[in-house]
Amino acid sequence: MSSAPPTIFSPRRRLALRHRMRSLQRRPDAPRYLIDDMIEDVMERIGFLRHEPESALIIGDWTGDLARQLGALGCTVTSASPEEDFDEEAPFPTKGFGLIASLGTLDNVNDLPGALIHIREALAPGGLMIASFMGAGSLPRLRAAMLAADGERPAARMHPMVDVRAGGQLLQRCGFARPVVDSRGLDARFGSLHRLLADIRAQGLGKVLASPAPALTRTGLSRAEEAFMGGEERATEHFEILTLSGWRI
């Protein structure tokens, strides 16, 4: 008898984060470079593989761009998101998709193996899954800044993240055929820690840990800002996008 997965992330905080992201994205200057990169990557992958799905389920694309691009190719697209009552950790209500693309949502589910199994079960035979989310190696300057802020008593402020090796093990464990795992980096420059945090919130990457850390003091925030900028006028932060892909046979 399998045990329940540990509760690392708060579903309530996760939904609040997604709703806040939607609100912030209504601003004309809202950043969206991470989702844009994921969408471009999905289209490049299916083109390279010459995969022409008749139907697709797109999870987490709040822009609608991937659905439009696939629709232009004659694909029937269903869109879903966690903030629209779509539960990735439960069996999907509809099955038989030729493609399921999950964009930026699987890095904060408590039962990642279960979510991947539900995706595989919702694919038609010969269907393809492409799942992209933030992976290990992301936000190294922010991590260092948080450690500097807390000093000798660091708090859990950053999410645990999946690396390439663990991603490959997950795909094999969940029964995907021809599994492929890779990661790619995306760098962005910021004039302050505040600017980075604003970008993170606007793109749905804020903290949703089930056990909240104590608020930073004013002194801690000052230490974090100093550590993040490192004496530079602009600091380069790194995002590592992990992509898992596999087929249902």
101 lies in a domain? yes
Q: Is the pLDDT of residue 1 over 50?
A: no
Q: What is the per-residue pLDDT for 151? A: 87
2 lies in a domain? no
201 lies in a domain? no
234 lies in a domain? no
Q: Which residues of 177-216 are buried (b: 16+ CB within 10 A; e: fewer)?
A: eebbbebeeeebebeebebbbebbbbbbbbbbbeeeeeeb
118 lies in a domain? yes
Residue 191's contacts (CB-CB under 8 Å, 6 or more residues apart) are: 233, 234, 235
Q: What is the per-residue pLDDT for 87? A: 96
143 lies in a domain? no
Q: What is the per-residue pLDDT for 2? A: 59
Average per-residue pLDDT for the chain:
96
Tens of pLDDT, residue by residue over 119-162, are 999 999 999 999 999 999 999 999 999 999 998 888 999 999 99
* Mean pLDDT value of segment 194-210: 96
Tens of pLDDT, residue by residue over 92-109, are 999 999 999 999 999 999
107 lies in a domain? yes
* pTM to 2 decimal places: 0.95
HEC sequence for 98-157:
EEEEEECCHHHCCCHHHHHHHHHHHEEEEEEEEEEEECCCCCHHHHHHHHHHHCCCCCCC
Quote helix, strand, coil % in the chain, to nearest 5: 40, 25, 35
* Mean pLDDT value of segment 75-95: 96
For 203, what's the count of Cα atoms within 13 Å in the CB-facing half-sphere?
A: 21
* Mean pLDDT value of segment 205-217: 92
Query: What domain count does the chain have?
Result: 1
1 lies in a domain? no
Question: Which CATH number fits the domain that encloses residue 99?
Answer: 3.40.50.150
Furthest C-alpha separation in the chain: 57
Domain that holds residue 182: 11-138+160-188+239-247
The angle formed by the CA atoms of residues 194, 198 and 200, to the nearest 5 degrees, is 115
Beta bridge partners of residue 77, listed in sequence order: 56
